[in-house]
Structure 1
């Protein structure tokens, strides 16, 4: 998979909103909330142009009953895809370029909190956004055709930001 990071695109928010409507209809009343996560949700950051949706549901097992509907929307059903208690879907456009990822978790779990804390922390801390953006650009140049190398290169930074984000999120609630 080619690794490409591009400047922030103001259309990403609208693409998230459009897609979230289709996903909500397909998954039905089980949906609690749909969030825009990942780098495309963070202003002023370079990102792979893939829209990440985090869907909170009441019952994760019921998501499996919606697989055909998700396939009808163009998604590949990936199951847990390496993360227990998650359902993962990915979508490519007609030319085979990845456009969307969907991460589904039971509502109000630590996985949901971690993703939302990371996003909100990054939005509130532009210096860390700049560091992350620069790291992503450097890694994309270093690993132009190696998504694993690219992802591994980001891992330490992401874990450090997640740690900071969870502390920040907890402190923020008590201020």
Structure 2
């Protein structure tokens, strides 16, 4: 029997869970909808549950990982939600005062068929919604973003942090444009 995920170094985890991209899959929306239903039953009242990340953007290549944003009321406490999310099959990956991140679908043998990243935040901490909507509304911008991701894929296949950091400037640029365009949509 191999190591437990909790015993692996970051480098070992990156080897076991490399970055890989695939063409957009119609099943991602269904996976999100099914997982949203599970979360709505498992969690106390939330301000919103949303499909974010590249799997929410039709027609672009993405890591086959469904990102979910759960926004809770500002008067709530993040830790009040933690046990319910863990009971829904997630592993808490990081925790700060204003954010918790969870993963589901990671095994000692690699990715499961369905993989989810859940981002638990206070209502209003939702830049990803603006970015998502902007790329959906402007498919040519989405294709530019896809081109960037494809160019970074092999270089950072085993370094998720570097892959994410290499996209940050572009993500911030389009998020800023989206916030100007959409105002207080969220």
| Residues 1:135 and 2:132 aligned together | no
**2:79 maps to which residue?**
64
Query: Is the Cα–Cα contact under 8 Å of residues 60 and 105 in structure 1 kept in the other structure?
Result: no
Report the Cα offset of residue 51 of structure 1. 0.5
Report the Cα offset of residue 162 of structure 1. 1.0
Could you say if the C-alpha distance between residues 96 and 74 of structure 1 is closer, same or farther in structure 2, counting changes exceeding 3 Å? Answer: farther
Match of 2:168 among 120, 144, 155: 155
| Residues 1:38 and 2:53 aligned together | yes
* 1:12-31 alignment, distance < 5 Å: 12-29=28-45, 31=46
**2:92 maps to which residue?**
77
Q: TM-score scaled to structure 2, two decimals?
A: 0.80
1:28 counterpart SS class: coil
Gaps of 5+ in 2: 1-13
**1:102 maps to which residue?**
118
**1:9 maps to which residue?**
25
Report the Cα offset of residue 62 of structure 1. 3.8
How many pairs are equivalent? Answer: 166
Gaps of 5+ in 1: none
